[in-house]
Amino acid sequence: MEKRHPHLVIDEIVQAFEKLRNHFLLCWQRSPQALIMPTGLVDDCWEVMILDTRQYHEFCNCAFGKYLHHEPNGLVPDSFTCRNELEARGKKHERM
């Protein structure tokens, strides 16, 4: 992290990892594909985690029961996301 962002102080790096932790908590509560990928420094923190592949795999298995892919291009639709969007649209049309 220090190589990518040498201007940051330790408190800023800790805050970025805390924001990544919050993103992982949202992934745990919902479908990870239903969330927008973090950007900037938080995304860099995730990439740092991924570099330690064995530990990242172990983290994912413990936290999510499967590997959590890093999708740098943002939201990736899946059947869970599409189903929720269709349900939300159906409810919206019912109100009209």
pLDDT band at 64 (very low <50, low <70, confident <90, very high): confident
Residue spans of the domains in the chain: they are: 10-95
* Encoded tokens for 71: 């999708």
Q: What is the pLDDT of residues 69-87, one digit of tens each?
A: 888 765 544 444 444 444 5
DSSP secondary structure code for residue 78 in this structure: -
Q: What pLDDT, on a 0 to 100 scale, did the predictor assign at position 87?
A: 54
CA distance 62 to 24: 12
Instruction: Locate 39 and state its tokens.
Output: 């950007």
Query: CA-to-CA distance for 7 and 47, rounded, in angstroms?
Result: 19
Contact 68, 27 (CB under 8 A): yes
Instruction: Quote the pTM value.
Output: 0.68
The pLDDT tens digits for 14-40 are 999 999 999 999 888 887 666 788 888
Greater confidence (11 vs 77) lies with: 11
Report the SS3 class of residue 83: helix
